[in-house]
């Protein structure tokens, strides 16, 4: 093996070993479980530019506990007490009491029951639709 091939092989081996680290988000490191598991930022703090689907579309219900407007993330805690973090995108549909709403109105709905339809992706659990109903 030539020196160039050896260097390339070492670099590839390093990247393969490093790749699992790039899929661990800061929230996971803090112990907050996330559906789909492999989420978040790479080791340099930047969002992963390549996203892949980790599963099929899922639905979950729980209380809307917090909203991080900078990261566009919401925290839902299920009736069983399990916390899940979700990412809102421009295409996420937000519905409050049966009417279309925006992120500002959603942020005012803390401690309300919410139904979330999402798809687990490697860069976050992407919200397809979140519905909040006041009973």
CA distance 17 to 98: 48
Q: β-pairing, 93-96 with 73-77? A: unpaired
What pLDDT score does 3 carry?
53
pLDDT score of 36 more than 90: no
All structural domains of the chain? 26-132 (2.40.50.320)
What pLDDT score does 48 carry?
43
CB under 8 Å to 23, separation ≥6 — which residues? 38, 39, 40, 48, 122
pTM of the model: 0.61
What pLDDT score does 11 carry?
44
pLDDT tens sequence across 54-77: 789 999 999 999 999 899 999 999
pLDDT tens sequence across 10-34: 444 444 444 443 344 444 444 444 4
């Amino acid at each position: 093996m030539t020196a160039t091939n050896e260097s390339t092989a070492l670099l590839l081996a390093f990247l393969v070993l490093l790749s699992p680290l790039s899929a661990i988000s800061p929230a996971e490191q803090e112990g907050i479980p996330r559906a789909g598991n492999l989420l978040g930022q790479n080791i340099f703090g930047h969002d992963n530019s390549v996203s892949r689907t980790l599963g099929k579309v899922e639905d979950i219900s729980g209380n809307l506990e917090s909203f991080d407007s900078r990261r566009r993330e919401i925290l839902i805690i299920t009736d069983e007490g399990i916390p899940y973090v979700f990412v809102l995108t421009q295409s996420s549909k937000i519905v409050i009491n049966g009417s279309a709403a925006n992120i500002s109105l959603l942020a005012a709905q803390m401690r309300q029951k919410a139904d979330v339809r999402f798809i687990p992706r490697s860069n976050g659990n992407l919200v397809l639709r979140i519905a909040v109903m006041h009973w």
